[in-house]
Amino acid sequence: MTLDELFGLAGRTALITGASRGIGEALAQALDAAGARVVLAGRDRQRLEQAAASLQNNPLVLTADLQTPEGPTTLAREARAAAGTIDVLVNNAGGSWNEALGDVDDETWARTIQTNLTAAFILTRELVPPMVDRGWGRVINVASVMGLVGDTHSSAYAASKGGMIAMTRSLAAELGRGGVTVNALCPGWVETDLVSGLRSDQRFEQRVVRRTPVRRWGTPADMAAAAVFLSGPGAAFMTGQTLVVDGGLSATW
């Protein structure tokens, strides 16, 4: 058995949402390094092009706002038109608007569910049928430990991520016979723009370090190996699972 037979993605095309920065950018670098052609999606074209500049395998950049009702369908159509086939879909784009219960207005709730969960569902619905026709595909849903455990000021975000994990299991049941695996990747606390506000609170920053067995925040690069594994040929028998990459946070109390 060779490393290529386990992890190689040559000849595969991967669409990664939220690839302009943070975790998505690191996943784009990793899947490119494994041989995939990467389609980077997000709202900010300039940042997407910066992220694509270091990639080797003829990357593509597509802009879309997944917060809008038509955003995911349009992105799926444009990705198919630009790249031909999508073999690996990484639903990574996400946002977090953490509020206390009484401050989560209807608009915040709807925006969170649309961006983090509905967009992932629609992209999967639109892009999976050709994977099934070809008998090979990978869907990776970037969820969160917040989909597994609770915390204050997290109800909408946690609901979106818990929904993603539940959706992952059911889609795995439905798509396994078509050669398409569906798994969730759950990061713990990772140093990105998403949590820059929380990290600037020193007490919170230190609390995460104290509570995480490896005693540090994660980096976007810490998520890369898991995504390569889940995308690769060697993970064909793994589906419906939640791979938690959190420095041990959720294993302890």
User: Looking at the annotation, which residues are catalytic?
Assistant: 157
Q: What b/e string do you get for 98-113 counting C-beta neighbours within 10 Å, with b at 16 or more?
A: bbeeeebeeeebebbb
> 59, 137, 163, 187: which one contacts ligand NAP (CB under 6 A)?
187
Binding span for ligand NAP by CB under 6 A among 102-110, 126-134, 168-176, 184-192: 184-192
Comparison of 9 and 156: residue with beta carbon closer to ligand NAP: 156
Q: Does 66 bind ligand NAP (CB under 6 A)?
A: yes
> 57, 98, 144, 212: which one contacts ligand NAP (CB under 6 A)?
144
> 7, 9, 20, 112: which one contacts ligand NAP (CB under 6 A)?
20
Distance CA 36, CA 32 (A): 5
Distance CA 86, CA 88 (A): 6
Instruction: Quote the DSSP letter at residue 186.
Output: E
Q: Does 201 bind ligand NAP (CB under 6 A)?
A: no
For 207, the token pair is 């609390």
Q: Does 189 bind ligand NAP (CB under 6 A)?
A: yes
Q: Which residues contact 206 (CB under 8 A, 6 or more apart)?
A: none
Binding span for ligand NAP by CB under 6 A among 5-13, 94-102, 168-176, 200-208: 94-102
Largest Cα span, the chain: 56
Q: Which residues contact 101 (CB under 8 A, 6 or more apart)?
A: 155
Q: Does 151 bind ligand NAP (CB under 6 A)?
A: no
Instruction: Write down the least CB distance from residue 164 to ligand NAP, Å.
Output: 9
Instruction: Write down the least CB distance from residue 11 to ligand NAP, Å.
Output: 26
Report the alpha-carbon angle 164-129-180, nearest 5: 60
> 14, 24, 32, 155: which one contacts ligand NAP (CB under 6 A)?
24
Q: Does 18 bind ligand NAP (CB under 6 A)?
A: yes
Comparison of 44 and 133: residue with beta carbon closer to ligand NAP: 44
HEC secondary structure over 147-180:
HCCCCCCCHHHHHHHHHHHHHHHHHHHHHHHHCE
Q: Is 114 helix (H, G, I), strand (E, B) or coil?
A: helix
User: How many residues bind ligand NAP, per CB under 6 A?
Assistant: 31
Place of tokens 């230190």: 206
Binding site for ligand NAP (CB under 6 A): 17-24, 42-44, 47, 64-67, 92-96, 115, 142, 144, 187, 189-190, 192-195
